[in-house]
Amino acid sequence: MSTYEKYPTVEIQGYDDSAWQGWEAIVATLNEHIHQRRRAVLVIDCYPGVRLGELEEKLLPALNATLTLNAERARRDEQSIHEMLARNLTDDRVFGVLSCHQLHEFIDPQKLAAMQEQVSRCTDGIVIVYGPGAALVHQGDILVYADMPRWEIQQRMRSGELDNWGAGNQQEDMLRRYKRAFFVEWRVFDRHKTPLLKRADFLLDTTLADRPALVTGDALRAALAQTTRRPFRVVPFFDPGVWGGQWMKQHFDLDPGAPNYAWCFDCVPEENSLLLRFGAVRIEIPSQNLVLLQPRALLGEKVHARFGAEFPIRFDFLDTIGGQNLSFQVHPLTEYIQQQFGMHYTQDESYYILEAEPDAVVYLGTKTGTSPEAMLDDLRRAQRGEKPFDDARFVNQFPAKKHDHFLIPAGTVHCSGAGTMVLEISATPYIFTFKLWDWGRLGMDGLPRPVHLEHGERVIDWQRDTQWVNAHLVNQVETVAEGHGWREERTGLHEREFIETRRHWFSEPVVHHTGGSVNVLNLIEGAQARVDSPSGAFAPFVVNYAETFIIPADVGEYRISAWGKGAGQQLATIKAWVRG
């Protein structure tokens, strides 16, 4: 039986009576608040992806409103929105340009004014304005925000239930719909919801169909503050892929009927959920809400000053054990991602090998003496289907074994070979992978996987050849401190990467300090460990093998010890933070 916890939950103290489960309890709570007034405007603003039909069937009729308005009826028509976004969406299936739009730009001013006039003319009873952008119609005497995690949005898109907001594009391929959400919708609605969450009276969770939950805004904000004072985990999600393997299925107790699992996003707050428990009620929110509302306490002053309300460190798993090679790829240089896509930092990364089969390799850097023109010509011919890419001629293959660490600064060609279980430690702009060669495969959707050679050839650093990679990127391990029962090793990353990593081997307790920066760790060796506070500042927190956990900057000092099934074992953690 796996010990890996797939639904980690943060237990919130002091607000057990501030959350409700089920439509009946939610209706009773809202009615209690709105019917105390002779006239009240209830605004239910929504993240795109919330099932408005469920609100219209289960919630709104029970509130006995005099007037009910759907804010989406003030949205501009589909063609107008498409023309406005054309520059951001581009013609590419995968890559767009990051949007700086505000939500009001998607709204027809005349329709909005007419709706506002309807609200103002209704001088008695209850007025309800609901849907994405409802707070643009009226700020609300009572404000409810209905949020939606991004992973659930993607599932609804994949099932065909959901199109992009205002697009009517359910039949469009998933890559294009994801692109529109990533580059436009999520940016626009995060800007819109952040000030609303700071003043909302309630948050409504409708992630699970017909199993809604409601929490007061005060309790939600207190919960986020509590979370920044203790270790926590976000909710991992798992996804199959054409190259996916079998290791996670076996070790994380996943669906045995699934063909494979390629990815696990174990710490990607932009897309993961955060589970908060208030007494008997569990609330699921995007973990990005913690970043948006508590950036300084979570990230630390220096990290917040540099990145704003963005979580810059990503931990995820890539499973090719029993699978295939990843795509041969490269990530953009900083200036390229800034100029082409509007991102302000790039995807530097590393592969930490959790497990490996005997013949596993990592492809990293070009072979010394490689002619750029010859390799690019070979890649172009492979892209046209004339021949397979001659990887053995142009690309280094390094044997990969358990606990190896390969550093991959942007511009370095690379991929993990079959037979590896990789803990990928990287910067967060994870969508920016330029595939150079995909081994002639089709994607899970049966379509050719996009190859972006035209981008990739502009960012490959040809100086990263065999000698350079050996000297700078393969197992750059240095012991920096040790004591009785523990040893601390620096394992990277490269000087061009802003993430620092340290590995601790220990059989005795090890004291750490955040140093004013958010720390992200994974238990890479040993069954179980406990994280506690030497001063008793937070309740002890137990982690299991391969679980990623976050230590907010405000925690300061913390201690990690062998615990439970890990007692008496040699344990190890890998820790990442942003260099000062």
152 and 168 fall within a common domain: yes
Angle at 354 between CA 352 and CA 357, to 5 degrees: 110
**CA nearest to 500, candidates 526, 516, 523, 520:** 520
296 and 422 fall within a common domain: yes
Structure tokens at 256: 């045995």
- Structure-token match 């039909």, residue found: 53
pLDDT of residue 212: 98
Q: Are 42 and 50 in contact (CB under 8 A)?
A: no
Q: Are 306 and 516 in contact (CB under 8 A)?
A: no
Structure tokens at 68: 């009910």
Structure tokens at 504: 């601790």
Considering the domain boundaries, does residue 347 fall inside one?
A: yes
Neighbouring residues of 569: CB distance < 8 A, sequence distance ≥ 6: 507, 525, 526, 527, 562
- Determine which helix (DSSP H) or strand (DSSP E) holds 169, and give its type and residue range: none
pLDDT of residue 135: 98
Considering the domain boundaries, does residue 344 fall inside one?
A: yes
Q: Are 88 and 99 in contact (CB under 8 A)?
A: yes
451 and 512 fall within a common domain: no
- Determine which helix (DSSP H) or strand (DSSP E) holds 360, and give its type and residue range: none
pLDDT of residue 214: 98
pLDDT of residue 440: 87
Considering the domain boundaries, does residue 468 fall inside one?
A: yes
Residue that terminates a domain, selected from 227, 254, 278: 227
**Running along the chain, 580 residues long, what does each successive block of 10 average in pLDDT?**
92 98 98 87 97 97 96 96 95 93 98 98 94 98 97 94 92 92 96 98 96 98 98 97 96 95 94 97 98 98 96 97 97 93 91 98 98 97 92 98 97 98 89 90 74 95 97 96 97 91 98 98 98 98 98 98 95 96
pLDDT of residue 441: 87
55 and 161 fall within a common domain: yes
Residue that terminates a domain, selected from 425, 456, 472: 472
37 and 185 fall within a common domain: yes
Half-sphere exposure of 237 (CA within 13 A, CB side): 17
Considering the domain boundaries, does residue 254 fall inside one?
A: no
Half-sphere exposure of 566 (CA within 13 A, CB side): 28
How far apart, in whole angstroms, are the C-alpha atoms of residue 38 and residue 127? 11
Structure tokens at 13: 């103290």
At residue 211, φ and ψ (nearest 5 deg) are: -130, 60
302 and 424 fall within a common domain: yes
- Structure-token match 């959400």, residue found: 181
Q: Report CA-CA distances (Å) from 400 to 260, 361, 420.
A: 21, 5, 8
Q: Which domain holds residue 174?
A: 9-227
Considering the domain boundaries, does residue 233 fall inside one?
A: no
Name beta bridge partners: 483.
Answer: 486
3-state secondary structure of 33: helix
522 and 543 fall within a common domain: yes
Q: Which CATH number belongs to the domain containing residue 23 in this structure?
A: 3.40.50.300
Structure tokens at 95: 């890559």
Considering the domain boundaries, does residue 411 fall inside one?
A: yes
Considering the domain boundaries, does residue 569 fall inside one?
A: yes
Antiparallel, parallel or unpaired: β 361-366 and 486-492: unpaired
Name beta bridge partners: 559.
Answer: 511, 532
DSSP collapsed to 3 states, 232-282: ECCECEEECCCCCECHHHHHCCCCCCCCCECEEEEECCCCCEEEEEECCEE
pLDDT of residue 345: 87
Domain count, the chain: 3
Q: Are 573 and 529 in contact (CB under 8 A)?
A: yes
67 and 213 fall within a common domain: yes
How far apart, in whole angstroms, are the C-alpha atoms of residue 311 and residue 291? 7
158 and 21 fall within a common domain: yes
220 and 311 fall within a common domain: no
pLDDT of residue 430: 64
Q: Which CATH number belongs to the domain containing residue 358 in this structure?
A: 2.60.120.10
441 and 491 fall within a common domain: no
- Structure-token match 């692109």, residue found: 179
Angle at 273 between CA 263 and CA 334, to 5 degrees: 60
How far apart, in whole angstroms, are the C-alpha atoms of residue 547 and residue 298? 19
Considering the domain boundaries, does residue 253 fall inside one?
A: no
72 and 186 fall within a common domain: yes
Residue that terminates a domain, selected from 449, 472, 495: 472
